[in-house]
């Protein structure tokens, strides 16, 4: 498919937040390539919303735990379009394991969380680096979590993976400068998402009660901040928390 539009790759576009980000970029002039791993119908629905609204988008399958699949996806984008302007590392996997249940956090679960949430964003950035750097104005936006700033969220593995993603953001901002700006959004609880529904009840309710603005985030809040980052030419290496203002995540 040929297009004159800049190209944005949004991982996890079949999910709640990835879908909102894809639609925001699609409505603002990007051709969106949205990935999914198994949810073909949800990815197709996101693509249909964008295309029906006059934008352009397509879905591509990617299991981002597989390094070869990442390289192959980026090679396909290079051959189809010859460019990539924005990479949004949004896809992630979690499972609710209360922090104190150390024995429930197996090596296999640890590896799945880390491979999906931390290693894949690095491998995607590495694979896409040449394309993103080509015209000197590339952007990466990583979607992390407030659980990567203060200990909390669905499991120790998830919280640690997101702390790693926050620091990967800073490392890549240095490594890919001056041609690519790399920033990060760390949502707290995001209402009406399936991932939030997988949080232990006390974690979700605690987030609502601690937010000083009296509300936590919604997927559209994350999408609008993603747009702001990719429209900026002077911000890099930053992690912005969107959580309704929880004192523990204020830095």
Are 60 and 117 spatial neighbours (Cβ–Cβ below 8 Å)? Answer: no
Which residue is associated with the tokens 């990583």?
142
Residue with CB nearest ligand NAP? 15
Nearest residue (CB) to ligand NAP, 66 versus 179:
66
Q: Is 194 in the site for ligand NAP (CB under 6 A)?
A: yes
Q: How far is the CB of 96 from ligand NAP (least distance, A)?
A: 12
Question: Using the rule CB under 6 A, which residue among 116, 160, 183, 225 binds ligand NAP?
Answer: 116
User: From residue 136 to residue 175, what is the string marking binding to ligand NAP with x (rule CB under 6 A)?
Assistant: -------x-x------------------------------
Judging by beta carbons within 10 Å of its beta carbon (0-12, 13-18, 19+), is residue 233 exposed, middle or buried? exposed
Say which residues have a Cβ less than 8 Å from residue 67's Cβ, sequence separation at least 6: 123
- The token duo for 40 is 């073909």
Binding to ligand NAP by residue 14, rule CB under 6 A?
Answer: yes
* Residue 90 binding ligand NAP, by CB under 6 A: yes
Structure tokens, 196: 């939030």
φ, ψ dihedrals at 250, nearest 5°: -85, 130
Considering beta carbons, is residue 84 or 113 the nearer one to ligand NAP? 113
To the query of whether residue 158 is one of the catalytic residues in this protein, the response is yes
Do 137 and 233 form a contact (C-beta atoms < 8 A)? yes
Q: Please tell me whether residue 59 binds ligand NAP under the rule CB under 6 A.
A: no
Q: Is 150 in a helix, a strand, or coil?
A: coil
Stretch touching ligand NAP by CB under 6 A, among 45-53, 89-97, 101-109, 166-174: 89-97
Give least dist CB 119 to ligand NAP, A: 11
- Residue 179 burial (10 A CB sphere; 0-12, 13-18, 19+): middle
Catalytic residue among 158, 169, 193, 217: 158
What DSSP string runs through 207-244? HHHH-TTS--B-HHHHHHHHHHHHH-SS--S-EEEESS
Stretch 21-50 residues interacting with ligand NAP (CB under 6 A) = 36-39, 42
For the annotated catalytic residues, the residue numbers are: 158
What is the binding site for ligand NAP (CB under 6 A)?
Answer: 11-12, 14-18, 36-39, 42, 62-65, 90-93, 116, 143, 145, 187, 189-190, 193-196
């Amino acid at each position: 498919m040929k297009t004159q539009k800049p190209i944005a790759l949004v991982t996890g576009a079949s999910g709640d937040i990835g879908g909102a980000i894809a639609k925001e970029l699609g409505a603002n002039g990007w051709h969106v390539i949205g990935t999914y791993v198994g949810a073909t119908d949800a990815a197709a629905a996101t693509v249909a919303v964008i295309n029906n609204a006059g934008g352009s988008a397509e879905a591509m399958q990617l299991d981002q735990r597989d390094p070869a699949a990442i390289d192959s996806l980026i090679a396909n984008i290079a051959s189809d379009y010859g460019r990539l302007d924005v990479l949004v590392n949004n896809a992630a996997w979690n499972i609710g394991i209360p922090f104190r249940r150390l024995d429930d956090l197996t090596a296999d679960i640890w590896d799945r969380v880390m491979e999906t949430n931390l290693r894949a964003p690095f491998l995607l950035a590495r694979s896409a680096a040449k394309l993103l750097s080509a015209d000197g104005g590339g952007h990466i936006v990583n979607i992390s979590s407030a659980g990567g700033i203060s200990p909390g969220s669905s499991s120790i593995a998830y919280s640690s993976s997101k702390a790693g993603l926050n620091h990967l953001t800073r490392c890549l901002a240095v490594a890919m400068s001056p041609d690519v700006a790399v920033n990060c959004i760390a949502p707290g609880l995001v209402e009406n998402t399936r991932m939030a529904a997988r949080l232990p009840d006390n974690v979700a309710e605690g987030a609502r009660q601690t937010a000083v603005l009296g509300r936590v985030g919604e997927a559209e809040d994350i999408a609008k901040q993603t747009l702001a980052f990719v429209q900026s030419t002077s911000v890099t290496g930053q992690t912005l928390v969107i959580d309704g203002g929880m004192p523990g995540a204020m830095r």
